[in-house]
């Protein structure tokens, strides 16, 4: 069992001030795999105090110092990829091949994108005789999820560090080890004491203490819309900036003349990859009514061919979902679709055949889904796809936009036709014939999918304040 019972505060691993031991459960076998300490408000106070003290000097570090620091982190991070991959696979159930190929290397991509952004970012400019400068915000509280854990951590840590901020990270208690390994990396890289701090904990204690704390200047949160609303309320009393990437319910508009055999496998991959635990998974497949039979047959074959297996086993298969709560939620949504009259094409409730232990979900496809059904409106976060039909492109766009979310959308078919449709979709990200994001492209959503952006120069800008200096000599 991995053991990370201490927090990383002010450049040292320290005992918790009144925290409680917590066991992380491996979702593949339902056995403990890691132990951590859920921190206390006193731990949060200590971490914020260290971050505030470190900000006094780090905020005035040179651009060259920050670049050199990021390069040292990158060098050590690359060496620790296998450790990060194993930790993620064991704690949240992603297959080890996916963790080695995508989950763990995501941190490298964010570090490189941030280094590139530093070279391209305009830190100071003149508007008439006014000098406009970008400066670090201050102490950043970072609260991150379990589904792509190191990806979302590094999407915040790298630009915040590059911008001259200091930070306190609270990773998900469901997948905390990769954050502890990152703390080891930061320590070995010589990041100054107090610049990066790690406090493990849950949302109701450590998360609430961070978001309401007057010593925190900004909260950057990735997670559910429900939790995001609670964080915004807690942060309101101190009027701190709240930067959020929340839920999604991405549509995949399949154009009427699309080559279905070509385009559907590329996007249904997003429903299956990571066991469907991606906020940008294009689960709402919108197909012209004349093409629904062909599309259903193709997606059915993909779902039936998807192998579900132990995440420790090599190969490109699906692992379990992260925990029992998620398993039960997904089972309930699958049952709701059946009860509301959707047609179950493949999959359904229960574990895959032969699996009695672990939080494994049967790859599931529904057709005859209508926009009012729960399965069409709520974020499933599992390997479940729904097929809805449309009559024309205006109808498809209306259905795609008929959601409280606005994180991402996909269009499958002729790229020129798709590009003409993209401006009409109320989503922060629109992908064409694919579902994956790009680490230099702005990442974030409209509506209840959040506010602010991550990645590249836009992510760097969101971790900075803008100051106007009026009357300075030319």
Active-site residue list: 245, 279
3-state secondary structure of 79: helix
Strand-strand pairing, 139-143 and 405-406: unpaired
Give whole-number Cα distances, 379 to 98, 216, 225, 434, 470, in Å.
22, 31, 10, 20, 48
- Strand ranges, E, within 331-463: 343-346, 364-367, 384-390, 405-406, 408-412, 429-432, 446-447, 450-451
Kindly state the tokens that stand for 160: 């915040």
Least Cα distance to 321 among 336, 339, 334, 340 occurs for 334
Nearest 5°: the CA angle 50, 53, 57 is 130
Strands 446-447 and 405-406: antiparallel
Q: At what angle do helices 106-120 and 63-79 cross, to 10 degrees?
A: 160
Q: Which of 225, 108, 203 is nearest to 155 (CA)?
A: 108
> What count of other Cβ atoms lies within 10 Å of the Cβ of residue 79?
10
């Amino acid at each position: 069992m991995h053991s990370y019972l201490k927090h990383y505060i002010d450049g040292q691993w320290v005992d918790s001030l009144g925290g409680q031991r917590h066991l992380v459960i491996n979702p593949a076998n339902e056995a403990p795999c890691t132990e951590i300490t859920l921190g206390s408000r006193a731990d949060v106070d200590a971490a914020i105090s260290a971050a505030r003290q470190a900000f006094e000097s780090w905020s005035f570090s040179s651009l060259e110092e920050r670049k050199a620091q990021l390069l040292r982190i990158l060098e050590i991070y690359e060496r620790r990829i296998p450790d990060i991959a194993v930790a993620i696979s064991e704690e949240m159930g992603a297959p080890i091949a996916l963790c080695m190929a995508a989950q763990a290397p995501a941190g490298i991509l964010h570090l490189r994108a941030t280094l590139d952004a530093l070279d391209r970012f305009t830190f100071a400019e003149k508007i008439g005789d006014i000098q406009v400068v970008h400066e670090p915000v201050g102490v950043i509280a970072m609260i991150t999820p379990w589904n792509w854990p190191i990806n979302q951590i590094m999407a915040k840590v790298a630009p915040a560090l590059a911008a001259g901020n200091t930070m306190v990270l609270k990773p998900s208690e469901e997948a905390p080890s990769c954050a502890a390994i990152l703390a080891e990396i930061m320590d070995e890289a010589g990041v100054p004491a107090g610049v990066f701090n790690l406090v493990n904990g849950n949302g109701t204690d450590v998360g609430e203490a961070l978001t309401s704390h007057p010593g925190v200047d900004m909260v950057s949160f990735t997670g559910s819309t429900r939790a995001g609303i609670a964080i915004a309320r807690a942060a309101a009393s101190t009027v701190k900036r709240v930067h959020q990437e929340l839920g999604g319910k991405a549509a995949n508009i399949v154009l009427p003349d699309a080559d279905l055999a070509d385009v559907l496998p590329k996007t249904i991959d997003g429903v299956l990859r990571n066991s469907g635990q991606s906020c940008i998974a294009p689960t709402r497949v919108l197909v012209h009514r004349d093409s629904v039979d062909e599309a259903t047959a193709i997606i059915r074959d993909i779902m039936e061919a998807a192998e579900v297996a132990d995440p420790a086993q090599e190969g490109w298969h699906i692992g379990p979902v992260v925990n029992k709560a998620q398993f039960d939620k997904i089972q309930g949504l699958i049952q709701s679709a059946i009860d509301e009259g959707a047609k179950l094409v493949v999959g359904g409730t229960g574990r895959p055949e032969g699996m009695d232990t672990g939080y494994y979900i049967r790859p599931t496809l529904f057709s005859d889904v209508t926009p009012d059904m729960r399965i069409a409106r709520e974020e499933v976060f599992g390997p479940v796809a729904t097929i809805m039909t449309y009559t024309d492109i205006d109808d498809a766009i209306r259905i795609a936009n008929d959601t409280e979310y606005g994180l991402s959308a996909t269009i499958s078919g002729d790229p020129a036709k798709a590009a003409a449709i993209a401006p009409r979709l109320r989503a922060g990200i629109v992908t064409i014939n694919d579902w994956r994001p790009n680490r230099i492209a702005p990442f974030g959503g409209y509506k209840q999918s959040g506010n602010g952006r991550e990645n590249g120069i836009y992510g760097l800008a969101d971790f900075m304040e803008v100051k106007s200096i009026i009357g300075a000599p030319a």
